[in-house]
């Protein structure tokens, strides 16, 4: 049997599925991952510096422009077959929870509902000093607009060194701990606390399926490893699951 068959076998036996996705699932939509060398203007900056409160405090204009350029690119890209396959898989299970580290909203664009965005969404904003909600900032501003309280506006994403939004990680933990199968797609498994979810799921008895072009720390304990692009592997897993489900009927 192929690894696609192995994955479909595990999935078809499951009632409750949880998914953890990372930047790799959006790569085939044309969004660079964090591991990719930063392109162009950003080649000389470390994302962990830019995506941090200190980075913003030191150079609000630079960080604002980094997010603005990511938002401009996002406006031109579409969800890819990997996102769509997950959205379609969801209807085959009693419970199917997508937990994402991505801030690009592409799972929702592909039709996934109830997506848990561990690190927020790049199209939402709040003020830096007091967290006041703020409207979507127009694209193309050279520097951060000001909140009514006088503080800079920032993207309402989770930066390195910041806690995740209240309750969000708890929701992800519940989904991981109650899953029969935990599917990990396109993440290097290096950023915590998100990277702790696969072992939490495994310790609670879930079978792990990892889809990644390369092996990661998660591969050590995955039951199935599919070493291919998710935009190709996920539609094949979906197709095999449908075949199995229709042959059982």
What residues line the site for ligand BV8 (CB under 6 A)?
22-24, 27-28, 33-35, 48, 51, 101, 103, 119, 157-163, 186-188, 190-192, 194, 211-214, 216, 229-231
83 is catalytic: no
Q: Which of 71/207 has CB closer to ligand BV8?
A: 71
State the minimum distance, in angstroms, from the CB of residue 148 to ligand BV8: 25
State the minimum distance, in angstroms, from the CB of residue 152 to ligand BV8: 16
- Find how far residue 100's CA is from the centre of its chain: 3
- Six token digits for residue 1: 């049997």
- Six token digits for residue 202: 């495994």
Residue nearest to ligand BV8 (CB): 24
State the minimum distance, in angstroms, from the CB of residue 51 to ligand BV8: 4
3-state DSSP of 14-53:
CCEEEEEECCHHHHCCCCCCCCCCCCHHHHHCCHHHHCCH
Q: Which of 35/73 has CB closer to ligand BV8?
A: 35
Q: Which of 228/242 has CB closer to ligand BV8?
A: 228
Q: What is the chain's Cα-based Rg?
A: 19
d(CA 32, CA 102): 11
Q: In terms of DSSP bridges, do strands 116-117 and 95-100 run parallel, antiparallel, or are they unpaired?
A: parallel
Q: Which of 2/48 has CB closer to ligand BV8?
A: 48
**Choice among 83, 119, 148, 239 that is catalytic:** 119
State the minimum distance, in angstroms, from the CB of residue 127 to ligand BV8: 17
d(CA 235, CA 249): 21
The residues carrying an active-site annotation are 119
């Amino acid at each position: 049997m192929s690894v696609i068959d192995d994955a479909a076998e595990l999935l078809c036996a499951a009632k409750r599925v949880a998914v953890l996705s990372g930047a790799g699932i959006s790569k085939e939509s044309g969004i660079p991952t964090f591991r990719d060398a930063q392109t162009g203007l950003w080649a000389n900056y470390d994302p962990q510096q830019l995506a941090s409160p200190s980075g913003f405090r030191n150079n609000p204009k630079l960080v604002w422009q980094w997010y603005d350029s990511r938002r401009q690119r996002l406006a031109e890209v579409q969800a890819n077959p990997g996102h769509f396959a997950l959205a379609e898989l969801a209807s085959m299970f009693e419970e199917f929870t997508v937990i994402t580290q991505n801030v690009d909203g592409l799972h929702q664009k592909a039709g996934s509902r109830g997506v848990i965005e561990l690190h927020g969404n790049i199209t939402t904003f709040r003020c830096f000093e007091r967290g006041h909600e703020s409207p979507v900032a127009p694209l193309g501003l050279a520097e951060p607009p000001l909140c009514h309280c006088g503080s800079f506006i920032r993207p309402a994403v989770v930066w390195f060194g910041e806690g995740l939004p209240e309750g969000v990680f708890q929701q992800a933990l519940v989904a991981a701990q109650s899953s029969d199968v935990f599917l990990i797609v396109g993440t290097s498994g290096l950023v915590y606390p998100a990277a702790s979810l696969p072992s939490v799921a495994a310790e609670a008895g879930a079978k792990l399926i990892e889809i990644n072009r390369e092996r990661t720390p998660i591969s050590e304990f995955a039951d199935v490893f599919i070493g291919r692009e998710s935009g190709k592997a996920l539609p094949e897993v979906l197709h095999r699951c449908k075949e199995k489900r229709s042959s059982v009927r």
